[in-house]
Amino acid sequence: MRFLVDGYNVTMADDATRRLAPDEQRLALVRRLAARGRELLGAGRITVVFDKGHLADEPAALGVEVVFSRDRTADDVIAEIAEAEAGEVTVVTSDRELRSRVRERAGRRTQVLPSSTLWDSAPATKAKRRPRRQHPHGGLPAGHEEITRELAARWLNGDEEDQQGCQGPGSSST
């Protein structure tokens, strides 16, 4: 799996990083991905794409590739990388136009996750998560209302035979 992260799209939408200087935004995101990338996204190669250039002393982060778009846009670079990738690609962005471009160019093997997936407040998730199947009664068995009525009638309406034969847990009859 290849993860392509729309760098400034994530940092500018995140309350924890949006007010930082661009250099600090990049560093915060790359460090977050180095520390929690697998936890937040899953196993795979992580590439963060930022607009423009970078400082010569930009620190490298273990397990995170950083790409700068130079004279192009980060969106162009992300779409190009996604299209050239042979395997599955997950793009992390909330940019609707980029989302459409990537799906159009890379097709069915592309998944797009919102930028919030990488925010500090994001719960740990994995890419490729499947929606939980909704149970019609919130996970209760079919006929649960009838069972509840029957138990209430026996326990709460003074059915003495049942009360004597069915003491609650931990109670003893003397």
Name the nearest CA neighbour of 53 among 74, 83, 24.
Answer: 74
Query: For position 16, which CATH number holds?
Result: 3.40.50.1010
Query: Residue by residue, what is the 3-state secondary structure of 52-63?
Result: CCCCCCCCCECC
CA distance 135 to 137: 6
pTM of the model: 0.66
Give the position of tokens 């560093």: 27
Number of domains in the chain: 1
The separation between the first and the last C-alpha atoms of the chain, rounded to the nearest angstrom, is 66
Q: Does a structural domain hold residue 12?
A: yes
Percent of the chain with pLDDT over 90: 36
- Residue span of the structural domain in which 42 resides: 2-118
pLDDT digits (tens, 9 = 90+) for 79-112: 999 989 888 999 999 999 998 888 887 777 788 9
pLDDT of residue 103: 83
Q: Does a structural domain hold residue 6?
A: yes
Query: By three-state DSSP, how is residue 92 classified?
Result: strand
